[in-house]
């Protein structure tokens, strides 16, 4: 008879095997992207039409006190970490895709909404070479 741990492990392997593959995305077909490579840090500012944010512009400095989204892509000891700090008045939703070292294709990765005045952290242990952010929207 299998132990509970072995059963759970087997179930996780099956579920993991059934998970949908990440969607490939082509940045050339996406409007309003911001490209980040290791060491990128700055403030993204937008044009706003209702809840939709467009025409993102990344300024190299943090723009202290300015409204927008502060981003930083850095490596800690084990992981590549993307910090997204929301300086806007509403929560921020965005999409992201990564390109691994030696690859030409981007694959979309999950992101979490970032509350107004808060920061979120995404991280990868993969050899990520570039991250693109897109699909910026405001919410409640």
- pLDDT tens-digit map of 121-130: 999 998 999 9
- pLDDT tens digit string along 11-63? 333 333 333 446 888 878 888 999 999 999 999 999 988 888 999 999 887 66
Task: Kindly state the DSSP code that residue 17 receives in the 8-state scheme.
Answer: H
Q: Which domains does the chain have, with CATH numbers?
A: 23-139 (2.60.40)
Q: What is the 3-state secondary structure (H, E, C) of 50-112?
A: CCEEEEEEEECCCCCCCCCEEEEEEECCCCEEEEEEECCCCEEEEEEEEEECCCCCEEEECCC
> Which pLDDT belongs to residue 23?
87
């Amino acid at each position: 008879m299998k132990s509970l741990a072995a059963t759970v492990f087997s179930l996780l392997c099956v579920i993991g095997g059934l998970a949908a593959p990440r969607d490939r995305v082509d940045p050339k077909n996406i409007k309003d992207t911001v490209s980040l490579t290791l060491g990128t840090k700055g403030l993204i500012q937008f044009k706003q039409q209702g809840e939709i944010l467009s025409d993102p512009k990344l300024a190299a400095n943090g723009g202290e006190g300015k409204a927008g989204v502060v981003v930083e892509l850095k490596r800690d000891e084990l992981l590549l970490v993307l910090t997204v700090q929301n300086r806007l008045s509403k929560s921020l939703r965005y999409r992201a895709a990564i390109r691994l070292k030696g690859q030409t294709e981007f694959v979309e990765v999950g992101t979490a909404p970032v509350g107004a005045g808060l920061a979120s952290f995404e991280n990868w242990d993969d050899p990520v070479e570039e991250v693109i952010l897109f699909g910026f929207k405001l919410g409640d």
